[in-house]
Structure 1
């Protein structure tokens, strides 16, 4: 029996086993986020609850695959703990299914990342997961992976040529911006803002304009598009925070030193929001009261600032994507129809729902 056939039979056994367990109480919910096409061959988008029942997790740990799939994960070392939690999530999910996984950390070097992927191609990996450093520099190496018949799954953001990957597992960054704006509109009276036309001045901390930062671009666009429905808000300032606390702190400090009126600061990640809080406090103002502060990511430090009242809201950006990754790998390798775009469920978090929110560990 060929190696591929043995893999296929073993994976089919696993899927049947999991299906039986689902009938016995696996509670994860799959809800459509968007209908893409009624054609059964069309790519489909799903919004997915990543919570895995403890019972099914323990059963998965005992699953044994005779011929293990060989999976590689090429990652970029990014800003903040999100990237490390994603790495841990992928490793733990692979261990549960006893699937061989090798992690390659390229840091911030595109050359290293491409070399790592070529190494995996030469060693005939079955699947390669990629967290790209940029969206433009991977087309050549992913073309090589495609020619070798290797499944490629993107994390967090796509590359520019969509035909070069089989699936993407990521947050819906535009929707994260929508959630931030929806929270602001719904809470404006409660947090002391008025409904008078153009009465509320908003500053946005972006990660870097014209830099190809998909997350920041879409988080800003979703926020701006949604906020435009309420004429009491005006985005007067677009600040470059470079995604880092220190850069954001400097940008906000300069803005406040000019005597500009700012009622709300929306930062496209929590690191920049935290920098804004520091600058606001240094200017003798009270963050969370004199200036409303909203971030994205739901990092531990942001949650602590919400608890202390110095930040008002953060929007989740779920890094626990390992189960979605391994589930996709098993189903696609066994020939099952799979979704091409997988988005985890996320929500806006403030003081009112801190205790009930499923916040990712850091």
Structure 2
């Protein structure tokens, strides 16, 4: 059975099953969906599963029971939600995945959703590596603090970064370890790896919280972040952009949480009969010292 159709109408009732409104990024994502729904005249049924996969299943089932026209879903994890997505499809409700994919191993997972909407994690890593190649000024010895082990953002950000540096030549990742996107764990890992590799002069953290932890570790070690050691990261929150503007972090590629405009544009394109591809890419900005200041007021 194909993904259900969506027919043109004056106003839609749309579900948004949020994973957890517990971080500035998630809060910004929810606000963007709410703001855009209001702007285009859609009714938004918005839920917060608070990190509970079981609750998110109930949220999706409730949206189907309420007769929503389409569900935007940010999955907490990619397996337990699959039956609920299949039930939505059987009920004639298209599902669009936001920022996280489903586990591809269940046979029906790929065919049950209209599309995945999210960032290109490989490209994020590649953009930071390309910036480093242009601006290294002899700094080529890298400590990498990865995100959650096995998670798509961590895998993609490492792949893009490593591939771009390998193509450029002359750079070496001295050590790489997962910091689980937590600031204090990033700080502790940076302290340990900088102690083991005192010649390191680049820190690449997959998430802004870990980068800010690494900045604290560099301060404690008597090294000047952004000058003695290049600091690169992914994010775009106000605190990390201020650090870039202050010269304490060198470059940040954005992971854009503002899905609302793209989400509702895609809804209307689908209702108008357009073919939607399997991946609708979210556009991510890039900030260095020259551009970060202007982005602070718009940051999450």
C-alpha distance in structure 2 between counterparts of 1:340 and 1:256, whole Å: 42
Equivalent of residue 207 in structure 1, options 134, 147, 157: 147
Aligned to 2:219: 281
1:185 aligned residue (99, 124, 133): 133
Aligned residue in 1 for 2:177: 239
Contact 2:245 2:290 in 1 (8 A): no
SS at structure 2 position matched to 1:229: helix
Gaps of at least 5 residues in structure 2 are: 1-5, 104-108
What are the superposed Cα offsets for residues 313-346 of structure 1, whole Å, 9 maximum, x if unpaired? 1001112210111122122123333344221333
**1:151 & 1:359 partners in 2: Cα distance?**
36
In 2, the alpha carbon distance for the partners of 1:73 and 1:350 equals 33
1:342 aligned residue (261, 273, 280)? 280
| 2:16 is aligned with 1:73 | yes
**Count of residue correspondences:** 290
Shift of 1:204: 0.9
Q: CA RMSD in A?
A: 2.0
Q: 1:78 to 1:293 in 2, by over 3 A?
A: farther
Contact 2:174-2:197 within 8 A present in 1 as well: no
Aligned counterpart for 1:131 among listed residues 71, 74, 79: 74
Greater radius of gyration (CA):
1
1-side partners of 2:248 and 2:210: how far apart? 14
Q: Match for 2:266 among 325, 328, 333?
A: 328
Q: TM-score, normalised by structure 2?
A: 0.90
User: Partner of 1:153 in structure 2?
Assistant: 96
* 3-state SS in 1 of match to 2:181: coil
Distance in 1 separating the partners of 2:242 and 2:87: 45
Contact persistence 1:79–1:243 (CA under 8 A): no
User: 1:271 aligned to 193, 196, 209, which one?
Assistant: 209
**Whole-Å Cα distance in 1 between the matches of residues 167 and 64 of structure 2?**
49
The alpha-carbon deviation at position 227 of structure 1 amounts to: 0.9
Task: Give the equivalent residue in structure 1 for 2:299.
Answer: 361
Provide the C-alpha distance between the structure 1 equivalents of 2:23 and 2:166, rounded to a whole number of angstroms.
30
* Unaligned runs of at least 5 residues, structure 1: 1-6, 12-64, 195-199
12, 24, 33: which is aligned to 1:90?
33
| TM superposition shift of 1:157 | 1.8
Query: Alpha-carbon deviation of 1:137?
Result: 2.6
Contact 1:318/1:360 (8 A) holds in 2: no
TM-aligned CA deviation for residue 8 of structure 1: 4.4
Any conservation in 2 of the 1:263–1:290 contact (CA below 8 Å)?
A: yes
Cα distance in 2 between the residues matched to 1:359 and 1:182 = 27
CA distance in 1, matches of 2:31, 2:177: 33
* CA deviations over 1:267-326 (Å, ceiling 9, x no partner): 111111111101111111111112111010121111111111111110011122101111
